[in-house]
Chain A
Amino acid sequence: MQHVIDRRVPAKPVPVIRISRLTKSYGHGDATVHALRGPSRPGTDEPAGVDLDIEQGDYVAVMGSSGSGKSTLMNILGCLDIPTSGRYLLDGTDVGHLDEQQLALVRNRKIGFVFQSFNLVPRTTALAQVELPLAYAGVRAAERRRRAMAALSLVGLGERAGHKPNQLSGGQQQRVAVARALVTAPAMLLADEPTGNLDSRSTEEVLGLIDGLNATGRTVVLITHEDEVAQHAKRVLRLVDGQIVSDVRQAPVDGPPPALRRTGVPA
């Protein structure tokens, strides 16, 4: 495996994610905490902000200890949180200029979320969970059902469409969450420690699903603090105190993710 620090300007003209001079801080005055700061401006203590491009089809793992700013980055990438300063272009659109309504639309159409704590809607069947983003997108009931069933079958839970979250194991719940994230065919899958609450077998299942999604061309940004999980990514970013301290490419953007290549499963 090749470890190369990728300092090249991205070859593709429009990256799916382009953030420039992005900062996020909490509090005011002396009590200000910079969750995302990037390098300091020369000669001052002022944060210059984080710059990052992620290309279409890439599989990026963001690593860092707790408090390193990786969750903040993920929330901003997912349009759940608003940066203090800087620009964020998602698919070429400046997200900072969008209003609440348009942000909801972006979250619905362009981003699929997978959370550490699954975040399924309580008391709702797996099928209804997966239908939810489609319902918000205004898809008709029959079409919605068809697509949701297809997504559930893809994650191997076609049999359990009628189960509610409390009737599913952790791994199954996370697979429902993956199905829900992919059902709208978003440009990007954001996974915040998707395996943090799972046993090793479920971890393999869920990562296998994510690898498969990336192999079909979907951009994946995955947050983790486990090296084994980061091994699945094509590119690994390390964050320390709100700065990207290393950026390692493990596999080319084009082509299957490393795990699939290793096991020889065709993309």
Chain B
Amino acid sequence: MILWQTLRFAVGGLAANKVRSALTMLGVLIGVASVILLLAVGNGSSQAVKDSITSLGTNSLTVSAGSAAGGSRATSSVKKLTVADAKALASDTDSSAIKSVAPVVTTSATALYGNISYSPGSVVGTYPAYFETSNQKVAHGDYFTADDVLGSRKVAVLGATTAKQLFDTEDPVGKKIVLGGTPFTVVGVLAAKGGSGFTDPDDVVIAPLPTVQNAFTGFGAVNQILVQASSADTTTAAQSEITRVLLGTHAITDPTKADFRITNQASLLTARESTTKTFTVLLGAVAAISLLVGGIGITNIMLVTVTERTREIGIRKALGAPRAVILGQFLTESTLLSVIGAGLGVAAGIVGSHFSIVGIKPVVIPESVLGAFGIAVAIGLFFGSYPANRAASLRPIDALRHE
């Protein structure tokens, strides 16, 4: 029989029980939509991690004071990191692994512009190398220079959020702000990086290190030393180089008693990324189960349909319908259920992925759309084949006698 005819019978059969068909489709819809959406959420979160890796700078290493192995803190007095340490790292010429070094002090202060007062998330004093190492790009204006650092000039680069808060639509470059009582000239505004957590990386004021030390923190210890490795591959070499140099400057012989910590952002985030992968797989598994349940729903409803229409099957057989036609008709019906359900599920999944879910912006994986659709259709065929086969192998006389 012609395909078109079979399709028409199948549509007719489904239309006869609209609520039932709709509910069965809903099962498939939920299955497919959840596969697409949950995988998109998983993918979105790992995408977010990847973005923050690149935004932090993949080659950056952070050296901070404190013991690497927390337990030995009592035995050795913790020596703070100083600008001298940074200089020692920078002047370490026999290392090709270290590209640049930027000591960092962090403080907080209230900024004033005209009658607007705003407290940025942090005030950072550092060297120009900081911008490249931490992947901060100027969107407007310019970075401060090494000259500014040497001259302790009162210049500042604003984060996007801070600039917006203080200046709104005004152009901040060249304007003077008062930061904790000290006037600063704004030389540049950073490009927005976007938040990936609780702290807003754009809510920041960056100024030359000596200026900030002079105005706020004093010329003592620095909070961190940011080191940029020459490439992502040399971070390990850079890490051991830093350890060697700082053990020297701190006069420590036993590496296990080091009074500083080196954190490698990239490796931390890679670990986090693998966690989100596990998370994605788990979500996918849950979604796959719901898809399977949807498939069982199809079997169930098709069995009911076959039982209900046993008499009709008998009539069709008496009129000379071959086995293949009956099989085809019920298979078409179950496949139609799954195709329509899966199609709507794809639509629902894609629409749903436009909303951010628990703070994560879902990123749809195209393969998951095709995969979920394909699996749903295959499930329709597979789970529909049992009831359809049962219908097709009914003996006509038994089917006709069925009440």
Contacts and interface: CB of A to CB of B under 8 A. Distances in A.
B178 interface: no
A80 B396 contact: yes
B251 to A, nearest CB: 93
Interface string B62-80: 0000000000000000000
Nearest to B12: A123
Contacts of A154: none
Contact of A101 (B5, B314, B323, B397): B323
Contacts of B322: 100-101, 104-105, 136
A107 B318 contact: yes
B316 interface: yes
B interface: dominant SS: helix
B164 interface: no
A107 B325 CA distance: 14
A75 B5 CA distance: 28
Contact of B400 (A105, A108, A119, A133): A119
A225 interface: no
B397 A75 contact: yes
Nearest to B399: A80
Interface in B315-329: 315-323, 325
A121 B329 CA distance: 14
A interface: dominant SS: helix
A168 interface: no
Nearest to B321: A136
Contacts of A132: 316, 319
Given A80-B397, A80-B400, A136-B1, A119 B320 contact: no
A81 interface: yes
A194 interface: no
Given A75-B397, A80-B400, A119-B400, A107 B319 contact: yes
A122 B313 CA distance: 11
Contacts of B325: 136
Nearest to A105: B320
Interface string A98-130: 001100111111000101000111111000000
B319 A81 contact: no
A119 B312 CA distance: 8
A78 B317 CA distance: 11
Nearest to A75: B397
A135 B1 contact: yes
Nearest to A183: B319
A33 interface: no
Instruction: Bin chain A's interface residue count.
Output: 20 to 34
B16 interface: yes
A135 B317 contact: no
B116 interface: no
B85 to A, nearest CB: 86
B396 to A, nearest CB: 5
B120 to A, nearest CB: 71
A34 interface: no
B317 A119 contact: no
Interface string A53-82: 000000000000000000000010010110
Interface in A19-76: 75
Interface string B1-27: 110010000001000100000000000
A137 B320 contact: yes
Contacts of A123: 12, 16
A180 interface: yes
A109 B318 CA distance: 11
B311 interface: yes
A180 B1 contact: no
Nearest to B319: A133
B400 to A, nearest CB: 7
Interface in B293-325: 311-312, 314-323, 325
Most chain A beta-carbon contacts within 10 A, residue among B12, B323, B396: B396
A138 interface: yes
A100 B323 contact: yes
A267 interface: no
A245 interface: no
A141 interface: yes
B12 A104 contact: no
29 contacts: A78-B318, A81-B396, A81-B397, A100-B322, A100-B323, A101-B322, A104-B320, A104-B321, A104-B323, A107-B317, A107-B320, A107-B396, A108-B319, A109-B320, A113-B318, A113-B319, A119-B318, A119-B400, A121-B312, A122-B16, A123-B16, A135-B2, A136-B1, A136-B319, A136-B320, A136-B325, A137-B320, A138-B1, A184-B320
Given A80-B397, A80-B400, A100-B322, 10 more contacts: A80-B318, A104-B321, A104-B323, A106-B320, A107-B318, A108-B321, A121-B315, A135-B1, A136-B320, A141-B2
Interface of B: 1-2, 5, 12, 16, 311-312, 314-323, 325, 395-397, 400
